A and B are shown apart, each in its own frame.
Chain A
Amino acid sequence: MSDYNFAYLDEQTKRMIRRAILKGLAIPGYQVPFASREMPMPYGWGTGGVQVSAATLTPDDTFKVIDQGADDTTNAVSIRKFFEKTAGVATTEEASAASVIQTRHRIPEDELREDQILVYQVPIPEPLRFLEPSEVETRKMHSLEEYGLMHVKLYEDIAKHGAIATSYAYPVKVEGRYVMDPSPIPKFDNPKMEMAGIQLFGAGREQRIYALPPYCQVVSLDFEDFPFEASKADHACDMCGATDSYLDEVIMDDAGNRMFVCSDTDYCASRRKAGHVGAQGTPFEETAA
């Protein structure tokens, strides 16, 4: 192995983070302050998620990192390599094979199991931040359960756009108590948050950790006459033909041609491996990169 302590952070720090995680799990949706450390990466690149992962990983774990659903983007590759180097844990791109999955802004398409942990990177944990700038006031609003303001934002959306235009970081109410920011996942993923796996949220710059225990009730806020809708592009994946996955729109050339592909690369690849082909896809070949 290397000269790093297991998973980079020292044992005291990991213990401190674990205490915050346990408190978060005991009070679902509540933002627990923690002493966030400097990490060897800039704020906004997932320092919160990395610290939570470091405190969660054991030598027996298999680790997967996704960035907007993809395993092969800069952020995902660097964080995966970081833990390969500092923890020496096994890594994978397969969602079902991983025991800890760190994610930036997506939930994998495959349903998670009870023995899996999903770690979110969170830029701004406070759902009320842009409505009420004072942290003192927002914490009071959380403690007194005064969430009328959250609906003012949705009201403004409808007044301006004719529908709830918030499409990511869509606010949810957890177990009928705390209103929580689900991190900037698309609202398509919101219904998946009632899952079997444990979900941990780490915000490094904002020094907050919060969590959802398994099978926790998570309700997306809405109006009676404008109910919540988990929307996605009205299209099938052009690579694997899936109609049930969240899609990225990719501009192909200057003529405005575009294709829609699964944002979850592992889901797409495994479907192609199983023989599914989309409108612009080619059959899967073993030698393909």
Chain B
Amino acid sequence: MTPLLKVENISKFYGNRIGCENVNFDLYSGEVMGIVGESGSGKSTLLNCLAGFLTPETGEVRFEMRDGEMRDTVTMSEPERRMLSRTDWAFVHQHARDGLRMNVSAGGNVGERLMAVGARHYGNIRAEAVDWLGRVEISEERVDDRPTQFSGGMQQRLQIARNLVTGPRLVFMDEPTGGLDVSVQARLLDLLRGLVREMGLSAIIVTHDLAVVRLLADRLMVMKDGHVVETGLTDQVLDDPQHAYTQLLVSSVLQV
């Protein structure tokens, strides 16, 4: 079985400082990978390199295209990469405002990716948008409301609907539950877990919240100062941490 995403020797430097260095991993279809670490550990830098927002200094990010060919997304041309990022890829931002058009209705937000890949039938676009709003538990009557009229949790769910509408195969998530209160977080996680299982999505989730990866991720990668210090199955890493930093991280979680 070939991996969906093969990351080899990714390094990104900001001047003399290290963003992330020599990161390697494979991600298989249907697998959810969690990346945890403290602020400044390079996890967001890594995610942005993988998603094409930053260009890494060294390394390759090879992605299995729909025709089965493995292509390096770092060196591929910009139109191809942008095409990927609105079809096969999705990116869920921490702040919904970064991922939504705030002055366009919820329906328009969900429909944008469909129109970007050539949908030109209003009725079908709208039906699809309403269907997706339903899947993320936003009622149909809100379809013409703007995201500014939504609560934080609804905005985040809308952003997820907007990203998943074209049926991507790989989803990047940057702290998808950051800034939400715990009960809203729990529902969002429940929703995400359902969607990931139902659609067989592969996902890479960056977070500092260990509960999130415990629920969602199959595998875990722990980062510190731009380096990967530990990888393994989520339960294994969290229940029996080997690296000193991972032990610190796991023991830092408040037990309520």
* Given A146-B82, A223-B121, A159:B107 Cβ within 8 A: yes
* Given A144-B82, A151-B120, A224-B121, A159:B126 Cβ within 8 A: yes
A-B residue pair count with CB separations less than 8 angstroms:
53
B122, A158: Cβ atoms closer than 8 Å: yes
How many angstroms between the C-alpha atoms of A144 and B85 in the bound complex? 14
| Residue A149 CB within 8 A of the other chain | yes
Closest to A160 in B: B144
How many angstroms between the C-alpha atoms of A144 and B80 in the bound complex? 10
Which residues 103-161 in B have Cβ within 8 Å of A in the complex? 104-105, 107-108, 111-113, 115-117, 120-123, 125-126, 143-144
Which residues 158-205 in A have Cβ within 8 Å of B in the complex? 158-160
| Residue B78 CB within 8 A of the other chain | yes
How many angstroms between the C-alpha atoms of A131 and B143 in the bound complex? 19
A223 contact set on B, CB distance < 8 A: 120-122
Closest to A141 in B: B82
A226 contact set on B, CB distance < 8 A: 122
A152, B112: Cβ atoms closer than 8 Å: yes
Closest to B80 in A: A144
| Residue A155 CB within 8 A of the other chain | yes
Closest to B146 in A: A156
B116, A159: Cβ atoms closer than 8 Å: no
B121, A159: Cβ atoms closer than 8 Å: no
A152, B122: Cβ atoms closer than 8 Å: no
Q: How many Å from the CB of B124 to the closest CB on chain A?
A: 8
* Given A155-B108, A155-B122, A156-B104, A148:B79 Cβ within 8 A: no
How many angstroms between the C-alpha atoms of A159 and B82 in the bound complex? 28
B116, A146: Cβ atoms closer than 8 Å: yes
Q: How many Å from the CB of A239 to the closest CB on chain B?
A: 39
Closest to A148 in B: B116
B78, A144: Cβ atoms closer than 8 Å: yes
Kindly supply a per-residue 1/0 record for chain A positions 215-233, scoring 1 wherever the CB is within 8 Å of any chain B CB and 0 otherwise. 0000000111110000000
A148, B123: Cβ atoms closer than 8 Å: no
A222 contact set on B, CB distance < 8 A: 120
Candidates B79, B82, B107, B113; contact of A155 at CB < 8 Å: B107
B123, A152: Cβ atoms closer than 8 Å: no
B193 contact set on A, CB distance < 8 A: none
Candidates A144, A146, A148, A225; contact of B121 at CB < 8 Å: A225
How many angstroms between the C-alpha atoms of A151 and B111 in the bound complex? 9
How many angstroms between the C-alpha atoms of A152 and B106 in the bound complex? 11
B78 contact set on A, CB distance < 8 A: 144
B108 contact set on A, CB distance < 8 A: 152, 155-156, 159
How many angstroms between the C-alpha atoms of A149 and B117 in the bound complex? 11
How many angstroms between the C-alpha atoms of A32 and B126 in the bound complex? 36
B115 contact set on A, CB distance < 8 A: 148-149, 151-152, 155
Kindly supply a per-residue 1/0 record for chain B positions 78-111, scoring 1 wherever the CB is within 8 Å of any chain A CB and 0 otherwise. 1100100010000000000000010011011001
Candidates B104, B116, B122, B143; contact of A225 at CB < 8 Å: B122
How many angstroms between the C-alpha atoms of A222 and B115 in the bound complex? 11
How many angstroms between the C-alpha atoms of A146 and B86 in the bound complex? 11
Closest to B144 in A: A159
A156 contact set on B, CB distance < 8 A: 104-105, 108
How many angstroms between the C-alpha atoms of A158 and B111 in the bound complex? 13
How many angstroms between the C-alpha atoms of A223 and B116 in the bound complex? 13
A224 contact set on B, CB distance < 8 A: 120-122
Q: How many Å from the CB of B254 to the closest CB on chain A?
A: 42
A152, B120: Cβ atoms closer than 8 Å: no
Which residues 3-31 in A have Cβ within 8 Å of B in the complex? none
Closest to B78 in A: A144
Closest to A226 in B: B122
Query: 7 tightest A-B contacts by CB?
Result: A148-B116, A151-B115, A223-B122, A148-B115, A224-B121, A144-B79, A152-B108
15 chain-A/chain-B pairs, Cβ below 8 angstroms: A131-B101, A144-B82, A146-B116, A148-B115, A148-B117, A151-B115, A155-B107, A155-B108, A156-B104, A156-B108, A159-B143, A223-B121, A225-B122, A225-B123, A226-B122
| B interface residues (Cβ-Cβ under 8 A, vs A) | 78-79, 82, 86, 101, 104-105, 107-108, 111-113, 115-117, 120-123, 125-126, 143-144
Inter-chain pairs besides A131-B101, A159-B107, A159-B143, 13 sampled, C-beta below 8 Å: A148-B112, A152-B101, A152-B111, A152-B115, A155-B125, A155-B126, A159-B105, A159-B108, A160-B105, A222-B120, A223-B121, A224-B121, A226-B122
